Amino acid sequence: MDFEFWPAVIAGLAGGVVMTAMMTMMQKAGKTGMDMALIEGSMFTGDRGKAKAIGLMMHLFVMSALVIGSIYGLLFAWLDVDSGNAWWVGALFGIVHGLIAGMAMAMLPAMHPRMHAGATTAPSAASGSPVELEPPGFFAKNYGASTPPGLVMGHVVYGLVVGLVYALLAS
């Protein structure tokens, strides 16, 4: 497959929507305390409601669609992946992506202005309450025992969806 920017962006957005839905279901089921939208958005504001909105836009449109979607599309082109194989190659990319993201979680407190030891994500806090986040730890293990495998699986599904959608749109 050749690299095509807009199909890569749309595929990245589709993958991001599916992965975000999975993360939300894990949160609602009480399997994780991690809220990626809150984590990303609170890097810019301490207002919880605004942080969640900013973080969701960043996670879906900037990171999932523009940045990572383009990287996956470039990798498909560079490796000359056949469109019929893009779904499983995307899933393999997702494994690597998930492992890198899991390891990077341990480094977040070094650059995040609202991560402090002993703080909690306080999911029941009011929308406008100030944000103080617990450091996620290696593979975000501090957000619950289901978070590390969920983090990797979410990225695998992201890659699978990106591969499927990109193959349909770029072929």
Mean pLDDT of 114-137: 69
Instruction: Report the pLDDT value the prediction gives residue 130, as an integer from 0 to 100.
Output: 73
Q: How far apart are CA 56 and CA 144, in angstroms?
A: 21
Which segments of 63-146 does DSSP mark as H helices, in order? Answer: 69-78, 86-105
Q: What would the pLDDT profile of 44-77 be if each residue is shown by its tens digit?
A: 999 999 999 999 999 999 999 999 999 999 999 9
pLDDT for 171: 73
Distances (CA, A) of 74 to 37, 42, 96, 161: 26, 30, 15, 16
The amino acid that residue 155 corresponds to is H
Lowest mean pLDDT among 88-102, 107-121, 154-168: 107-121
Residue 18 has pLDDT above 80, yes or no: yes
pTM: 0.91
User: CA separation (Å) from 84 to 1, 56, 166?
Assistant: 10, 31, 11
**What was the pLDDT predicted at 112?**
93
